[in-house]
Amino acid sequence: MAEGYEALRHGVGAHRLAVDAVAVAGRDATSYLQGQLSQDVAPLGVGDAAAALLLEPDGKLSALVRVTRTSDDAYVLDTDAGFGEAVAARLQRFKLRTKVAIEQLDWPCVALRGEGVGGVPGIGEGVGGASHGAGPPFVLAVDWNGVRGVDLLGPGADALVPADATWCDAAAWEALRVEAGIPKMGAELDSRTIAAEAHLVERTVSFTKGCYTGQELVARLDARGSRVARRLCGVVADDAGPGEAEELVGAVLWTPDAGKVVGRCTSASWCPGLGQVGALAYLHRSVEVPGAVVWARTEDVPAARRRPGQVRALPLVG
């Protein structure tokens, strides 16, 4: 793990992302997606991409997606593996008489991260800038809480990976994700999630485009200062060792002073950038960030091994 993590932070680290991809194509593709996604897709050029929310009519989350324009009248939406079928079904549900075809794709995706990615010929110009490439594979810029690089999406992705890149395992990737506070479908994000809770609004929502499904809740919360009952935060476990992160996932979090349940842990990993176990958790807005102390409790962990943790703002490692 150590070598892979170091590459993802300071070299050129490569990791094969598990994603599902859904193609949306046809003469009405742009207008249809404008009415279904929170992001303004019309200005995207071929090869450009942007993060977006696919919402239910009540504003709850169907999926966090990335939408890539693959031609004048075609797009590919990719999301975390296991959720492509739900994305396709959600898009089909509101299609009605619209002239679009919706199809799931078996597309690979390779993430390149690290300070050295910016110097890779033909790839580095995407770091911190615009996505590019007539594709596939498309070179898609990524910048999330200081973690920067590119994703190579589509057939032929492996061929663009630099020969000197270090392939990184799941543990190194998860450490990077937790340290950066990047939410994941099935962990931090599900059908109960409101975008503002996971700090998604700024990067995924256009407030100048036309109406889209689920817009009312997003707009109402924005008008109220995005004041929601819970927020995604970081927690650093004070005394957990490298092999003990997994037992924190799903743990109930409570405050030791009032004995009040204030949240739940969604992900945890040994984080080399901290030298400690870091976790992501949804915490009630009453919890002071940073500075609060919470305790973790799971049904299968004896009371003697319940973990204290320090609440921190995200990212855990800048």
pLDDT in tens, 165-175: 999 999 999 99
- In 3D, which of 249, 231, 246 has the Cα closest to residue 313? 231
% of the chain with per-residue pLDDT over 90: 80
Q: What is the mean pLDDT of residues 71-87?
A: 98
Predicted pLDDT at 129: 65
Mean pLDDT of 218-229: 82
Three-state DSSP state, 243: helix
pLDDT value at residue 234? 98
Comparing CA positions, the residue from 38, 42, 40 lying closest to residue 30 is 42
**Exposed (0-12), middle (13-18) or buried (19+): which is 262, by Cβ within 10 Å?**
buried
As a whole-number percent, the residues of the chain with pLDDT over 70 amount to 94
What's at 32, amino acid-wise? Y
Q: What is the mean pLDDT of residues 140-153?
A: 95
Tens-digit pLDDT profile for residues 266-303: 999 999 999 999 999 999 999 999 989 999 876 655 55
On whether the CB atoms of residues 29 and 22 are closer than 8 A, the answer is: no
Q: How far is CA 231 from CA 175, 185, 221, in A?
A: 20, 16, 13
State the pLDDT at residue 304. Answer: 46
Closest Cα partner for 197 from 228, 170, 224, 174? 228
Task: Give residue 247's pLDDT band: very low, low, confident or very high (50, 70, 90).
Answer: confident
User: Which pLDDT band, with edges at 50, 70 and 90, does 27 fall under?
Assistant: very high
pLDDT for residue 158 is more than 80: yes
Phi/psi for 59 (5° steps) reads: 90, -5
pLDDT exceeds cutoff 90 at 128: no
Which amino acid is residue 16, in one-letter code? R
> For the structural domain made of 230-312, what CATH number should be given?
2.40.30.110
Would you state the pLDDT for residue 313?
97
pLDDT digits (tens, 9 = 90+) for 94-121: 998 899 999 999 999 999 999 999 888 8
The top-level CATH class assigned to 2-180 is: alpha beta
CB 115 within 8 A of CB 9: yes
pLDDT at 223 over 80: no
What are the counts of helices (DSSP H) followed by strands (DSSP E) for the chain? 6, 16
| CB-CB contact of 53 with 38 (8 Å) | yes
Give the C-alpha separation, 75 to 200, whole Å.
Answer: 21
> Where are the chain's structural domains?
2-180, 230-312
What confidence score (pLDDT) does residue 219 get? 87
Residue in the block written with tokens 């596939």 = 136
